[in-house]
Chain A
Amino acid sequence: NAGVTQTPKFQVLKTGQSMTLQCAQDMNHEYMSWYRQDPGMGLRLIHYSVGAGITDQGEVPNGYNVSRSTTEDFPLRLLSAAPSQTSVYFCASTPQGAGTEAFFGQGTRLTVV
């Protein structure tokens, strides 16, 4: 099993550009989530999904969109990148909700110039 796979690992965007961060898991987990990690601020929840077709907002959803058309995939879209979105992004999946072990991907380091 590959676990949780994120692509790309690194990305540089210009302000105003859009892009999609990919996340895929092969563990048949229902619950998936996206976090951003900034120095001194820990991991903050952007969006999460409790199953295919169901998504909800986390703590910092502005500027990001998600969809969940399959159990395996949970892409994160940046609609119009801003320098404030420079961060490391982590995707995670858990078997049953947030009250079980979360498995994280390796992260995507995004720089917006």
Chain B
Amino acid sequence: GENVEQHPSTLSVQEGDSAVIKCTYSDSASNYFPWYKQELGKGPQLIIDIRSNVGEKKDQRIAVTLNKTAKHFSLHITETQPEDSAVYFCAASGSGTASKLTFGTGTRLQVTL
């Protein structure tokens, strides 16, 4: 089955700096790569996703890049703000109706003033 590795496990940045979280996956058949943000006491919420036919996707201060050859994808957050502090999860899945979503182990991001 799919295996997703995520690094780093914790990340501390100063407000205004950029943050980068990296993930690798093992199954070359995976073609959907979402990123979820989990705030304390809440369920994960999708913040951005990318499919294998796209190399990069941006949404305001967040962007995701995908390198299918190397089987890795990254989340980039620019101009970080205190409200970006949360746990971030990457994930990977195929697109079939019976496919499964496999998550990385999470990155705790802390944005300090």
Contacts and interface: CB of A to CB of B under 8 A. Distances in A.
Given A99-B31, A99-B95, A101-B46, A48 B106 contact: no
A87 interface: no
Contact of A99 (B36, B46, B94, B104): B94
Contacts of A98: 32, 93-94, 99-101
Interface in A83-97: 90, 92, 96-97
A45 B49 contact: no
A12 B95 CA distance: 37
The majority secondary structure among interface residues of chain B is loop
A44 to B, nearest CB: 8
Given A90-B44, A104-B44, A106-B43, A99 B105 contact: no
B79 to A, nearest CB: 25
Contacts of A102: 34, 36, 44, 46, 101
Given A104-B43, A107-B43, A45 B31 contact: no
Contacts of B9: 40
